[in-house]
Amino acid sequence: MGRRGVTPYPLQSGNFCGARSLVNNFLTRRMRFLTPFGLATLSAVSKLTPSSTFRTAAKNFAEAQASSMRDKMKIQQYLQSFLISVVATGLSMPAVLAEESAAAVAKVSSGTIVGIVKNSAMLPVAEATVTAIKVGGGGIRATVSNSEGIYSFADLPPGTWSITSQVDGYPDVVVPSLEVVANKATRHDIVMNVPATAPVTGPALAAAPKAPAPVLVATVPLGLQAPEPGPEVDNETPFAYADFTWLNGNPRNHAPVFDTKFFTPDIRFDSYYVTDFNHPVDHTIVGSTEEFRAGEVQLEQISFGGDFHWENVKARFLSMYGLFATTIPRNDSSSGNIGGVGQWDLPDAYRYVAEANAGYHWDVNHGLNVDAGIFASYIGLFSFYNYDNWTYQPSYVSSNTPWVFNGLRIQWFPTNKLKIEPWIINGWASYAKFNSHPGVGGQILWLPNENLKLVFNNYGIGQDNLANYPATVNGVPVNVVNGVPVNYARITRIHTDDSIEVKYYDNKINGRGVSKAAFSLTIDAGCQYGGGVACSSGPNKSDFLGWMLYDRYWFNHDLWAVTFGGGAMSNPGRYLTLLPPINGATASTGTPYFSELPGQTLRQWDSTINFQYMPSDWITWWTEVGYRHSSVPYFAGPGGVTPPYGNNGSPQDYACNNGASSGYGAGSLSQAQTACAGQGGVWYPDLVRRESMWSFGILVKF
């Protein structure tokens, strides 16, 4: 029979069962009655010391229970005596406490025991009576778990305590020893298991009482149960020791909507509207990896997936629908239907995959992971996902560097504040390998305290240009640029991307007004060498230098924020410049209208002001104004970048003014003019040097 209350000392079995039940029920009801008046400590926390009046009442009541039913008046008299005795016990507490030793009376720093009462399915158990008894004597406490199964004991003297949990339908659970430390909380969850029914045979069968009805308990598979609660301050999990939701490129959710031991979901929606003050007739935006069409409401990203983790095996999958499914793969020239290396059109095969990787975790230091597959690139500071960023449209240093890698990564966490991560990947922002060398790189991430982030990304060895086939004909070089033969298969790329983020103001006392302030600074440098190009000299110079700086202010407990920033880049050779999508051009097709030959200069800069309203962890409303400038015509002007009557399927060739293809590409303008002479002449896209935009949108992440 389950016990619903607490007694000041153990009662015997048999005829005393009824008395015990009434005692327990009374104490439970008394606690509930007194709680609204701040007096719950009389039953839930206060020390209950045996008294002669209480023992006398309990004994008399037990004897009355054994009497015949005809003596009801006598039972009622004993019950009244019992209730009066209990009240007397509570009222006599000061006198009892006065009799304790001077050491016990002296004020001592206290501790706390707290936890959750659960069943075997890890569901909360309410109305469980939890009793705490100080080992060696000197104290008894009792409480009842709430609707969420939570119980707690405050103001416990330091020392060793035992815990007993009692509830109908479950056997008692005893925790023989818990250490209570002064000024600290001791966490212990209690699991109540339903007892198995043992078979009863022989003479005992007749004497056995009627078995209670079986208790039906909802069972949840272990993998779908919630993870065990972590410590208040987690110094084991990497970067979990502080709140880093303020970082640029980091999601600001403090916890997932729900979580299990097997799966943690990640769901994202990204929708926007852009006004381009150039008003391109084809609504096309050039040179962005975040905004692609103007004057329309568009879905940038719809992604579903999350993280899988079970017995050290881990995997991550996130789908990629929306404009991202077209605009991200088109920037990879390693493989495709037109151009690229080999068959199977990898950009098309992977277009609906944002991340897909799997691996294993070893408990080495603070963690060692080895993963293989497609994963988000860290180069450029800003996250692949706009929800995580301070602005919507980042500067060129972020937009023009990789968003995804395909290969192998190793993550080693020697401390909870440091990550060392080598990469062996197919290439720079590519699904396939361009030539004979893979790309090799890595990241060092250091967060020494809650206000500072340092990240260093480096890349090298990769040969990340499409080879020109053949390189020579009869020993004569096919590609001669600025008088120098160029063999793209022999060009090697190196790059460094380094960032610092500093939170220089944090109003933790009163979040009204300015609640936080932080800045981020990123500097990138890289170049290509070999195969007829050089990093710093010669006619075929091919290098990259850029920076971006953002300053952000949060207001009213981080309800809204304003970010100011921008950046610039110089990219002779244009090998990291996003190719304008003229006539549907991609990185693998190229276009005769915008040269990316070694030695071609390009300098660009931009500025942005972004406002974000964040009423919850799951949604961001934003609006932004931005200005971009280029040293050469680059952005879509009023005439747009689409030929008459739409793309003609030959982006590598000049188009005619009637929309047809001339059949001639880069280096063959005179032939194209001849071919288009009877078709209205050669068509040219409308490219301009300036672009101003205003945009707004909604970002959601679960």
Model confidence pLDDT, tens digit, residues 501-516: 999 999 988 778 999 9
The confidence score (pLDDT) of residue 378 equals 81
Q: Could you report the per-residue pLDDT of 627-653, keeping only the tens digit for each?
A: 999 999 999 999 999 999 999 999 999
The confidence score (pLDDT) of residue 391 equals 97
Distance CA 428, CA 414 (A): 27
Q: With CA atoms as reference, report the closest residue to 129 among 141, 139, 111.
A: 141
Q: Could you report the per-residue pLDDT of 364-417, keeping only the tens digit for each?
A: 999 999 999 999 988 899 999 999 999 999 999 999 999 889 999 999 999 999
* Amino acid type, 695: S
Q: With CA atoms as reference, report the closest residue to 593 among 535, 639, 545.
A: 639
For strand 111-119 and strand 185-187, is the pairing parallel, antiparallel, or unpaired? parallel
Neighbours of 32 (CB within 10 A): 13
Residues 168 and 275 in one domain: no
The CA–CA distances, whole Å, from 173 to 120, 132, 146, 495 equal 12, 12, 18, 61
**Which of residues 415 and 149 earns the better pLDDT score?**
415
Angle ∠(363,369,374) on CA atoms, nearest 5: 160
Residue 656 DSSP code:
B
Distance CA 637, CA 686 (A): 5
Helix, strand, or coil here: 406?
Answer: strand
For the chain, how many structural domains are there in total?
A: 2
Q: With CA atoms as reference, report the closest residue to 404 among 364, 346, 452.
A: 346
**Which of residues 667 and 654 earns the better pLDDT score?**
654
**CATH number, domain at 169?**
2.60.40.10
Q: Could you report the per-residue pLDDT of 514-534, keeping only the tens digit for each?
A: 999 999 999 999 999 999 999
The terminus-to-terminus CA distance of the chain in angstroms comes to: 45
pLDDT confidence band for 62 (50 / 70 / 90):
very low
Instruction: Give me the mean pLDDT over the 561-581 stretch.
Output: 96
**Which of residues 432 and 104 earns the better pLDDT score?**
432
The confidence score (pLDDT) of residue 87 equals 38
Q: Is residue 680 part of a domain?
A: no
**CATH number, domain at 505?**
2.40.160.10
Distance CA 366, CA 368 (A): 7
Which of 47-61, 269-283, 460-474 reaches the highest mean pLDDT?
Answer: 269-283
Distance CA 229, CA 174 (A): 21
Distance CA 330, CA 581 (A): 9
Distance CA 87, CA 583 (A): 90
Domain end (from 144, 167, 192): 192
Residues 176 and 282 in one domain: no
Q: Is residue 255 part of a domain?
A: no
Residues 167 and 284 in one domain: no
At residue 59, does pLDDT exceed 70?
no
β-sheet bridge partners, residue 367: none
At residue 195, does pLDDT exceed 80?
no
At residue 177, does pLDDT exceed 60?
yes
The H or E element containing residue 650 is none
β-sheet bridge partners, residue 38: none
Q: Is residue 435 part of a domain?
A: yes
The confidence score (pLDDT) of residue 1 equals 35
**Which of residues 698 and 95 earns the better pLDDT score?**
698
The confidence score (pLDDT) of residue 473 equals 54
- Residue 575 near residue 600, CB atoms below 8 Å: no
Neighbours of 56 (CB within 10 A): 13
Domain end (from 192, 213, 236): 192
The confidence score (pLDDT) of residue 206 equals 45
Distance CA 277, CA 628 (A): 12
The confidence score (pLDDT) of residue 171 equals 92
The confidence score (pLDDT) of residue 270 equals 97
Residues 559 and 442 in one domain: yes
Q: Is residue 104 part of a domain?
A: yes
Q: Which two tokens stand for residue 647?
A: 């793309």
- Residue 248 near residue 389, CB atoms below 8 Å: yes
At residue 76, does pLDDT exceed 50?
no
Q: Is residue 222 part of a domain?
A: no
Residues 550 and 435 in one domain: yes
The confidence score (pLDDT) of residue 477 equals 60
List, edge to edge, every strand of the sheet that includes 173-180: 140-144, 129-134, 159-166, 173-180
The confidence score (pLDDT) of residue 212 equals 53
- Residue 488 near residue 477, CB atoms below 8 Å: no
At residue 82, does pLDDT exceed 80?
no
Residues 489 and 595 in one domain: yes
Angle ∠(503,508,509) on CA atoms, nearest 5: 145
Q: Is residue 252 part of a domain?
A: no
Instruction: Give me the mean pLDDT over the 299-318 stretch.
Output: 96
Write the DSSP assignment of 276-315 as a string of letters.
ETT--TT-B--S-SS--BSSSEEEEEEEEEEEEEETTEEE
Residues 187 and 290 in one domain: no
Distance CA 594, CA 586 (A): 12
The confidence score (pLDDT) of residue 52 equals 42
The confidence score (pLDDT) of residue 342 equals 82
**Which of residues 468 and 625 earns the better pLDDT score?**
625
Distance CA 99, CA 95 (A): 7
Angle ∠(440,445,450) on CA atoms, nearest 5: 170
Q: Is residue 673 part of a domain?
A: no
The confidence score (pLDDT) of residue 110 equals 84
Range of the domain at 549: 263-642+686-701
The H or E element containing residue 497 is strand 492-506
- Residue 291 near residue 695, CB atoms below 8 Å: yes
Cis peptide bond prior to 157, omega within 30° of 0: no
Mean pLDDT across the chain: 83
Residue 104 CB contacts under 8 Å (≥ 6 apart), including other chains: 138, 157
Q: Is residue 406 part of a domain?
A: yes
Placement of tokens 């962890």 in the chain: 617
Dmax over CA atoms of the chain, in Å, equals 123
Distance CA 536, CA 528 (A): 9
Residues 414 and 307 in one domain: yes
The confidence score (pLDDT) of residue 83 equals 41
| Statement: the pTM of the whole predicted model exceeds 0.75 | no
Distance CA 355, CA 448 (A): 28
- Residue 371 near residue 358, CB atoms below 8 Å: yes
Residues 425 and 565 in one domain: yes
Helix, strand, or coil here: 187?
Answer: strand
Instruction: Give me the mean pLDDT over the 443-472 stretch.
Output: 88
Domain end (from 161, 192, 223): 192
Residue 174 CB contacts under 8 Å (≥ 6 apart), including other chains: 162, 163, 164
What are the phi and psi torsion angles at 93 (to 5°)?
-60, -45
